[in-house]
Structure 1
Amino acid sequence: MTSARPGRLRLGDRVRFQEHTYTVVGLTGMRVRLADAHGTGMLVDQVHLQSAEDFAVLGAGDRTALGSAALLERLPGPVAERALWWQRHLVELLTGLPPDAPAGARVKPDYDPAGRSLAQRERAKAAELVTLGEEVSARTVKRKRQQYEAGGIAAVVDHRLAPHASLVGRADPRVVAAIRQAIGESVPASTRTIEHARWRTERILEAEHGQDAVEMPSRATFYRLFDKLSHGVHVTGSARTRRSLSDQPEGPFRYETVAAPGELMQIDSTPLDVLVRLDHGVPGRVELCALIDLATRTVAAAVVRPTTKSVDASLLLARALTPEPMRPGWVQALAMSRSVLPHRRLLTLDERLEHAAARPVIIPETIVCDRGKAFISENFRSACRTLEITFQPCHPRSPTEKPHIERTLESVATLFCQFLPGYLGRTAEHRGRGVEEEPLWSMLEIQEFLDEWLVARWQSRPHDGLRDPGVPGRTFTPNQKYAALVRAPATSPSP
C-alpha cells in the first residue's frame, strides 16, 4: 500500500481503491463512505480500505466533487438519475468514450476528438438524443457541455428541485423545536420580551430532554434564530395583531361574487363609540346591530340596543323587510321627533319622507354572520327559516369572512358617531376628558338620528366598492347601484 499523504482520511480526499478512484464523502467511526464519479456510494471499513494493496490517497481533491456527491444523495431519485444521464453523454462527447466504457473500448467516430470538432460532436450528440426520444437541440447540448465543464455534475442538476439551504442553518433541531413551541405559546398570552422567550426555551428543553442535556446557543445566536423563526408573528408586538394573524385561514380563500340585491347579506353587531343617557340618567354604552347588502352596500336596517340579543337580530330582519313609511305610527313618530331631537335636522320632514320612500327594500336570500349568541340562537335561526333565508355562520374567529359589514360598522363610527355628544373615540388612547359631563342623548334619540343619517347620507354617498365598469373613476351610491342592478339582466356580474 502506498499513500501520497500519511495520516487519517478527511472529507473530500480522493483515494484509489480496487482499481477505481473514489471521493471520501462521509466518515462515521471506523467506517468510510466512498462515492465514485457517477455518484454511486459504498460503505467500507477503514481498516479494510487502507489495507488494500492498491489503496492510495491521491490528494485532497476539490470540494466541488464532494458537494456534488452529497447533493446527488439528497436529491430525489429521478432528478439524480437525470443528472447522471447527462454526465454520461457529456463525458462521451468530450472524451469519445462514456465513463462506464470497458478497458480497450474503441472511440466512436462521431465523438473522436482527433477527427471531429467540438461543434460537430455536439450536433452528433443532439442527433443521437433525438433518436432516443429526447427533444434536444445542438444549442442545448452546447449549453449543458459548458455547464458541466465549469461546475461538474452539480451544474447539470435541475436546481429547481434541489434542496435549498435551511432557514435555521446548522442549529440544533431540538433548540429550534423548543423555540417554535415558545412562539406558539405566546399567541394567546400577553406580550413579553425576547428574554422571556429565551428563558421559556430553556425550561422546555429541560422538561423534554433533561437538565443540561441540550446546549443553549449564545445570546446573540438565540436572538438571530428567534428573529428568523418569529418573523411575521409579532411575538414582542401587538397582542391583538398576533391573535388576528393566528386566526387567519391557512389556505387561500375568496369572496363570493354577487350579481343581484339580496343575494348575499352580512349581519353583525359592535359597541357604539358613544356614551348615551340610560335609565335614571346613568351614562353607558350601547351596541349597534346592522344588516348590509353586498351588491349595493345598502344598510338594510340598523338598530341601537343596550346589548344585542336574539330578539334584536330578529327585529332587524323585520325592519329590513318593511319600508319606513309603512311601519305602524312612523309618520306620527317622525313629526313628534322634531320637538325632542336636540340637533338641527339633516332633512326637512318632506325630504325625509322622500328619501325614506326611495330607500330600497331588499329581501335577503343568504345571510352571513359570526358565531355571536344573538345570531346562532334558535330564535334568529327560526326567523330565517320562516322567511326562507339561508343561514350561513362564519368559521370561529374569522372576521375576514365578512369584511364588508366589519368595514361598514367602522365607517359608521367615523362618519356618524364623531358628530354626537359623548363620542369616546375608537380606543382609550383617543378618548378625551370629561366626556361623561357632556349633554348626552338617549338611546331612542340616537336611533332616530341614525335612521335619518342612513337615508340622507349613507344611501347618497358614493362607495369605492361600487365602481362603474364603463366609466373609469366613477362610483355609484347605494341607491344608484340598486337601480342599475334592478334594470340590468339577472346574469350580469357585479363589479
Structure 2
Amino acid sequence: MLDGLPAEAVEQALWWERHIVEVLDGRLPDSPPGAAARPEFDPGRWSLTRREQAKATELAAAGHQVSAATVKRRRQRYQAQGVIGLVDHRADRRSAAFGRVDERVVAAMTTAIAETTEASSRTAGFVLWRTEQLLAGSDPPVVLPSQRTLYRLFGRLAHGRHATGSARARRSLAARPDGPFSGVTAAAPGELMQIDSTPFDVLVRLDDGVTGRVELTGMVDVATRTVSAAVLRPTTKAIDASVLLARTVTPEPMRPGWAQALAMSRSVLPHQRLLALDERLTHAAARPVIVPDTVVCHHGKVFMSRAFRASCRFLGISLQPAHEATPTDKGHIERTLGSVSSLFAQFVAGYTGSTADRRGRHLADGPLWSLPELQDLLDEWIVAAWQNRPHDGLRDPLTPGRMFTANQKYAALVETAGHVPVTLTGDDYIELLPARWHAINAYGIRLNHRTYDAEALNPLRRQPSGVKAKKDLWEVHHDPYDVSRIWARDPAGGWITAFWTQLHRAPAPFGELAWDHARAGLPTGIEQEIAAAVTNLLERAHRGPATSRDRTVATRTHASRPPAPTPTDGRPTGPTEDADETTGAAKVIPLPVFDPFAEADRRW
C-alpha cells in the first residue's frame, strides 16, 4: 500500500504507527513477548483519553508540536484504515493532468491531433496552428498559453501516437482496439493460416537483364509459425498465389547439393510415422507439409481473384478475407515477412534497405542474384534457419521460459491433432500451375526465351492441337519458380514433361548444410555442424553470384560427379574391387596449324 509514496511520507507514517500502537496496547510493536506495559500507557490503569494525553505530553517534551486532539485523530484513522491512514497525503497530492491550461485548449489540441491520423505527416507547429484555428470562434474567447506551454502540452497529448512520425505507424495505432484484445489462436497445424505479399528489399537481375525489386508472397501457419511456402516474383499475380497453395500442400524435395542434415528423416519431425500416411515424404526436406483449413488474406485483387478462389475451392480451403483497417486479423504473416527481411534479406548482395533513406549507393553495379538463384537461397534458408529457429510466440504454457522451433511445435501438435495428407497427385499439382498456349516446333517449345524439348513431343511437332479457340496451339503449364521443366498436355491423357535444353549449363544448385536448433532426435554433432553451414549460407548470399567462368566450371564439375550415397552402417566406404582398373589412352589427333595466308586464298 505504501509503494509509490514519497519516502519521507512513508517514514513519518511508520513513526506514528509505533506511538499509536503504544497508546492502544501499552507496548511498542517491537517489544519482546510478555514485556510489561509502561505505567503511563497501561490499559489496565488508565483510560484511552488519559493515554492519548500522556502520549501528547511525551511528544511535546521531545520537541514535537503535538496535542491530545492530534493523537486522537491519528489513532482513529489508524484503527479505520491501518498504516495508510497515518500518511500525510499532502506529500502525495497530484497536480492536474495538464496543469492550469484551459480545458478547451486541451480539447482543441486533441481534435487537431486526431485529424492527423489519415493525413500526411506534419510538424508540431502545424498542430499548434490548427489548435488556434479551432479556438478562433470560441465564446467566451480563449486565452492561449505561451508557446512553450503549448509544445509541452502537445508532447503529452501526442505521446505514443506518432502524430509527427510515420503515417503508416500512426494509422496502425489508430486501428488498434481501445479495450482489451487478443489474436485468434490455433490449436492444430493448418487450422488457421495467413497469406500476404510485400516488397522484397533486394535488387534482382531479371530475365531481361534489367535490375529491379521483386515481391515476396508467403504463407504462415499460426499454430506452428511454419512458413509453408514463400515465392519471389516481379509482380504478384493471382496465379502466383495459386501456385503458393500448391506448394503448401506439396513436400519440399531435397535438391541436389543440399546436405542430408536438411532431410526430414534427420529432423525432429516424425518422419517415419508421417511416411506411413504420405509416401511423398520419402525424399522430402525438413519442412512440414500443412494442409490449410482456413486462409486469411487481405482484400487485394490478387487474393480476391477468381483463379485464387477456384484454387481454394479445389483444395477444400475456406478463404477468409480480413477486416479492413484491422491489423490484428493477419498480424502473424506481416511480422513474419518483416522477419524474413531482417534475418535473411539484409545478408543478400543487393540489399536496398526498407526505405529510401536507408538505401546505399551503386547497388546495381555490384553482384546481383538472378530470380531463380535468389529463390533457391530463400528456399534453403527457410528449411535451414527459419524452421529451426526458436520463436518467442511458441513458448510452452507450463514452462514459459522455454521456446520451441517451428518444427518442434509441429512435431508436438501433430501427435494430438494428427495428419491428413491432401489427395493431390502430380497431375493435380500441374493443373494448378499457370497455363500458356504455344506451338510445338521442331526444336521444341519456346517459353520465356527458353527452349524446352523431350522425345515424347515427337508425334506433336508442327501439328495443330485442334483447339480452334487457341489458334491450334498446345496447352503448356509451367512453374514460375522452377524453370527447369514445363508440362505439355498429352492428347492421349496426362502430361508430357519437357526439360530446358540449357539445363546442364545452369548454375549449380546452392546449399551445403543448414542450421538446425532441434534439441531432440538429432544425431550427435548435427547441430554444431549445421550452425557453421548457415553462417556459410549467409556469407555466400552476401558475396553474390560467382563469375560466369567459375559458375561454368562448378556446374560441369557438379554434373560430372554423381552424389556419393550415404553409408548405412556408419562404417567408412572403401575402394571397390575395380578401383585400380585403368583404360587405355585414346589416340590423339593433332590439329593443323592455322595459316591466315592460306585461308585467304581458299574459296568459300
Distance 2:341 2:111 in 1: 39
Distance in 1 of aligned mates of 2:173 and 2:380: 38
Deviation string, structure 1 residues 250-280 (Cα, Å, up to 9, x no partner): 2221123322111111111111111111242
Match of residue 186 from structure 1: 116
1:453 to 370, 381, 387: 381
Query: What's 2:228 paired with?
Result: 300
Q: Which residue number in structure 1 is paired with residue 154 of structure 2?
A: 226
Q: Secondary structure at the match of 1:422?
A: coil
Residue 274 of structure 1: which of 197, 202, 205 is its match?
Answer: 202
Q: How does 1:92-491 map to 2 (within 5 A)?
A: 146=76, 167-168=97-98, 171-206=101-136, 208-209=137-138, 213-325=141-253, 347=259, 356-468=284-396, 474-488=402-416
Report the alpha carbon displacement of residue 489 of structure 1 after superposing the two structures with TM.
6.0
Could you tell me whether the CA contact under 8 Å between 1:355 and 1:455 is conserved in 2?
no
Q: What letter corresponds to residue 453 of structure 1 in structure 2?
A: W
Q: Which amino acid aligns with 1:393?
A: P
Q: Contact 2:161 / 2:173 at 8 angstroms: preserved in 1? A: yes
5+ residue gaps in structure 2?
Answer: 1-46, 50-71, 265-280, 419-604
Q: What is aligned with 2:599?
A: none
Q: Deviations over 1:35-83 (max 9, x none)?
A: xxxxxxxxxxxxxxxxxxxxxxxxxxxxxxxxxxxxxxxxxxxxxxxxx
Note the C-alpha offset of 1:192: 3.4
TM-score (norm 2): 0.47
2: CA distance, partners of 1:354 / 1:456: 18
Distance 2:283 2:376 in 1: 15
Contact 1:346-1:456 at 8 Å conserved across structures: no
Structure-1 separation of matches of 2:111 and 2:336: 38
CA-CA distance at 1:176 after TM superposition: 2.8
Q: Distance in 1 between matches of 2:307 and 2:241?
A: 9
How far apart, in 2, do the equivalents of 1:377 and 1:202 lie?
Answer: 48
Deviation readout 1:357-412 (Å, 9 max, x if unpaired): 54321111122223333223344334333433232333323333323222221222
Q: CA deviation at 1:430?
A: 3.3
| One-letter amino acid of the counterpart of residue 289, structure 1 | T
Which consecutive unaligned segments of at least 5 residues does structure 1 have?
A: 1-116, 120-141, 326-330, 336-344, 491-495
The alignment partner of 1:290 has SS state of: strand
SS at match of 1:289: strand
SS in 2 for 1:268: strand
CA contact (8 A) 1:367 1:390 kept: yes
1:70-89 mapped onto 2 (5 Å cutoff): none
- 1:444–1:146 Cα change, 3 Å: same
Counterparts of 1:489 and 1:444, CA distance in 2 = 36
Matched to 2:284, the amino acid is: A
Q: In 2, distance between residues paired with 1:248 and 1:319?
A: 33
Residue 463 of structure 1 deviates from its aligned partner by: 2.8
Partners in 1 of 2:123 and 2:302 — Cα distance? 39
What's the CA shift for 1:440?
1.8
Q: What displacement does 1:482 show?
A: 1.8
RMSD after superposition: 3.9
Secondary structure of 1:287's aligned partner: strand
Asked if the contact 2:193–2:219 (Cα under 8 Å) also holds between the matched residues in 1, the reply is yes
Q: 1:16-45 CA deviation, whole Å, 9 max, x = no partner? A: xxxxxxxxxxxxxxxxxxxxxxxxxxxxxx
C-alpha distance in 1, partners of 2:262/2:145? 76
Name the CA distance, whole Å, in 2 between partners of 1:483 and 1:351: 15
CA contact (8 A) 1:287 1:304 kept: yes
Percent identity of equivalent pairs: 60
What is the aligned length? 327
SS of the residue corresponding to residue 275 of structure 1 reads strand
**Offset of 1:305 from its aligned partner?**
1.2
1:443-479: per-residue Cα shift (whole Å, max 9, x none)? 2222223223322333233333334567775543323
